[in-house]
Amino acid sequence: MGRVGGFLSWWDGVELWLSGLPFVAQSVVVIPVVLALAYAVAVVLDAVLDRGIQLQHRLRHSPDEAADDTEGSDR
């Protein structure tokens, strides 16, 4: 059956179990899972964007420009 087939079989069982619950119980189960996934996606996107912004700042401001900026501030 394989890993993918096993996972899909498990997922079908979870889906059938969840769809058999009353609406309020479905909400109680689904909302925390969706919120946890949304939080995880937000944390990952925040980290990726932060790294991208840091890289962009490093590429725009070369070490030579930084040295020129510090010399100009003494005047």
Short-list 38, 61, 58, 62, CA closest to 50 = 58
Q: Model pTM? A: 0.62
Domain layout of the chain by residue ranges: 22-75
54/57 Cα distance (integer angstroms) = 5
Question: What is the residue whose two structure tokens read 């394989």?
Answer: 2
Tens digit of each residue's pLDDT (9 = 90 or more) over 16-59 = 999 999 999 999 999 999 999 999 999 999 999 999 999 999 99
